[in-house]
Amino acid sequence: MQPRSLPSPMDAPLPSFFRVILPYMLEKKKLKLPLKFVKMHGSELSSTAALTLPNGQVWKVGVEKMMSKNNEEIWFGDGWAEFVAHHSISAGFFVVFEYQLGHSAFNVRIFDFTTCSIDYPKTEQLDEDQTGSPHCIIISSDEEEGDCKPSARNRLRPRKRQTSDLTAEIENTLEFLEVSGIVTNALFHLRLPKMYRLCKKGIEEAIACKPEDRPCFIAVLSSNHTRGGSRTIIPSGFGREHKIERRTNRSGILEVCNGENAGEQWNVEVARNRSGQGMFMGKGWGRFMEDNSLGEGDVCLFQLVSAADPVKMGVSIFPAQPSPAN
């Protein structure tokens, strides 16, 4: 038997990290690199970094270094916001960075909230009007570089988004909720195009804010809630799995986790349906809705804090943000 040869250092995987894109990151318009990566490779980065996508595009972004307490922080700054806008990156996406050792350069892959990598058009398929940023350069097949002509007319959209219809997008969203372990009481309403457009951003933000250490479910408020239906359903599978259905009627506490009412609490009744299957929040829910100005299309992310009596849940609220029809 031939002895197994040791892997060459050239075959070793390149250092990599990923960042989940959260709403506050989009507001900052820059991206913080992980502390562990900064400690290992931060000194190798120059004042700019090259981000190379699978389609051959290379984007130049500024590298900002600063001290915070006892640690150095490194951020992608100048040009990062243009990179995000050009590639239609939104909350819930995650971006994988593979570091090219010693070159202040990264290979980049972008994944949307369905967890699938996005297939952007090849560089030779791009029109001049679509390249859209002075931070972007294109590496052509003969290795020549040319500046992209600035234009704000078009953002680069993933090819699959151009060819898929709204129904497919809705089903992808529902599938992602399922594989992420997020149950919802709104499967029917989410399949209605008008309602989906109304709550799409809220769903994406709720997915991005889902905690790793607590079971969650999402409620989308429909017109039934806002026309005096003072209850919201707890998904039956969620109630059974987390022992909420052990008693017919229980008291509950809802604590708002975000917005101007963050930290405030409301008392609600957690009751069993007449059929004996499933639970709902009844008495007190109408007051919770009124005090937090909830309306049709708003999204609530419920986090189970305690299944004891009283049941305690944190609630993050994401207001409806109508999106244009396709």
Domains, the chain, ordered by start: 9-160 (2.40.330.10), 164-318 (2.40.330.10)
pLDDT digits (tens), the chain, 326 positions: 454 444 444 456 789 998 888 777 888 899 999 888 999 999 999 999 999 999 888 999 999 998 877 788 999 999 999 999 988 888 778 899 999 988 899 999 998 877 788 888 765 444 444 444 556 654 433 333 334 333 333 344 444 444 345 676 777 677 667 656 676 766 666 777 788 888 888 888 888 787 777 888 888 887 665 555 567 888 777 877 887 766 667 889 999 999 899 999 999 988 877 765 667 888 898 899 999 999 888 999 999 998 888 899 999 999 987 766 55
Nearest to 93 by CA among 77, 75, 115, 76: 115
294 Cβ neighbours under 8 A, 6+ residues apart: 221, 225, 226, 288, 300, 317
Q: CB neighbours (10 Å) of residue 268?
A: 24
Maximum CA pair distance of the chain?
Answer: 78
Rounded CA-CA distance 186/183 in Å is: 9
Burial-class residue 320 by CB neighbours within 10 Å (0-12, 13-18, 19+): buried
E strand residue ranges, the chain: 16-20, 31-32, 48-52, 57-68, 71-76, 94-100, 105-111, 136-139, 145-147, 183-184, 216-220, 232-234, 249-256, 265-272, 279-281, 299-306, 311-318
Single-letter amino acid, residue 296? E
Is the full-model pTM beyond 0.75?
no
